[in-house]
Structure 1
């Protein structure tokens, strides 16, 4: 690890070398959320990548929201995803709803109204997010460091997107989640944020107003797990189906 690098570049270095950071230098530790968000975008740029999607979540239905841009090279569409796991650590997976908009939201000085954002939802699909940290102490990592680290994002597999339906059971969907045919989750599905659609206007305005970054129709927005975090070991195929949507598949190598 090069101690002279900024936090975003340290994270990018760990991302590309598949290594973990033991103790980040004191000088790069984020002291506020804005610094962590700065590091997110520096990380994506240092990877030589662009934004292929976003993640957004909250710990309670009325709690504060936070999110992260997702590097395009790690957003896999139409069940093409193959994630090479580190054999030394379990591979963490989450099953989520994701959305796409039917229009572009340009950088703006004033927030877009909630109703305008909701009216722009065009498509919905199921995703599997790989949870991975660039910090060796994970999960015992400072919350702002986790935020800078793209909220512990490893990769994202997306199934087929279909036209948006407002009547889908977004709060309490029926779902199945298996790995090599064995169930990964048998509890009651729930997103800690409640209805994930409440997260979308925050994400749009965070990107366009706070960060000056456009949200485009090709980018997906994945909105938090309904199964918590489940760990798998070894290679295999994870298959998730949620809310009657087409299934999503991720191969873990």
Structure 2
């Protein structure tokens, strides 16, 4: 049974109040717990529309053949060219090194699916990035994956590094990277994204995930999933991710 519009609105109001008042939720209202992905996306979309314009997206998948999932991101948690964020912004600080695509042209919702080449032609630049994972719930992940999906896919902030000079020559699947936290090497991997090819994710987002918002638009920033897994760090920590040939990004959560 599809969640009622009243239940969607109740869940969205609870999540927005948790953001505004910085009072995490032990539970969503009983009638407003998502029972399936459709419910979770309905809540997520309602929250996003109440926050304001969508300027970016996150998309990922649990494996190369798995159905992707996505969440919209807004200007208030999208940062470019910064090396410091305040720890007070977050309840928990789960850092992930990721690869980001920035679009130069629209990929609007349409009946005919966008092809891989059409999606690539819409890309303007490729960037290294950090996503900070956070939660509006009392305990990270405590209410399960559907509740997390409803809560913006555990998004806290997206920090985007400099554009790669020749992104067409970069293959994210074979891209090496390292991640250091406070000078300690925590990750040294090739690829690292369990979803495999991120262009598959980008095409799915254009064709399905972003449809409630009219598709993707020029200037949108899309992060395509963790290459490192989520590493929870303490306030004051400094993270440095190096993607040879793509770029380097550093962030202190002060």
Q: Which TM-score bucket, shorter chain as reference?
A: 0.7 to 0.9
- The CA distance in 1 between the partners of 2:161 and 2:23, in whole Å, is 29
- The CA distance in 2 between the partners of 1:223 and 1:82, in whole Å, is 21
Partner of 1:16: 20
What does residue range 66-77 of structure 1 map to in structure 2 within 5 Å? 66-77=69-80
Tell whether the 8 Å contact from 1:129 to 1:154 is kept in structure 2 after alignment.
yes
What does residue range 137-148 of structure 1 map to in structure 2 within 5 Å? 137-148=139-150
Partner of 2:217: 216
Displacement after TM superposition at 1:133 (Å): 1.4
Unpaired segments ≥5 residues, structure 2: 1-6
- The CA distance in 1 between the partners of 2:69 and 2:190, in whole Å, is 24
Tell me the number of residue pairs that the alignment of Structure 1 and Structure 2 aligns.
248
Tell whether the 8 Å contact from 1:107 to 1:207 is kept in structure 2 after alignment.
no
Partner of 2:107: 105
SS in 1 for 2:31: helix
- The CA distance in 2 between the partners of 1:202 and 1:54, in whole Å, is 12
Partner of 1:37: 41
Tell whether the 8 Å contact from 1:190 to 1:226 is kept in structure 2 after alignment.
yes
Displacement after TM superposition at 1:31 (Å): 2.4
Tell whether the 8 Å contact from 2:105 to 2:122 is kept in structure 1 after alignment.
yes
Structure holding more helix per residue? 2
Partner of 1:181: 183
Partner of 2:11: 7
What does residue range 89-238 of structure 1 map to in structure 2 within 5 Å? 91-163=93-165, 165-186=167-188, 189-208=191-210, 210-238=211-239
Tell whether the 8 Å contact from 1:121 to 1:164 is kept in structure 2 after alignment.
no
Q: 1:116 to 1:186 in 2, by over 3 A?
A: closer
CA RMSD of aligned residues (A): 2.4
Displacement after TM superposition at 1:100 (Å): 1.4
- The CA distance in 1 between the partners of 2:8 and 2:112, in whole Å, is 37
- The CA distance in 2 between the partners of 1:211 and 1:164, in whole Å, is 32
Q: 1:243 to 1:196 in 2, by over 3 A?
A: farther
Q: Return structure 1 stretches of 4+ with deviation > 3 angstroms.
A: 186-189
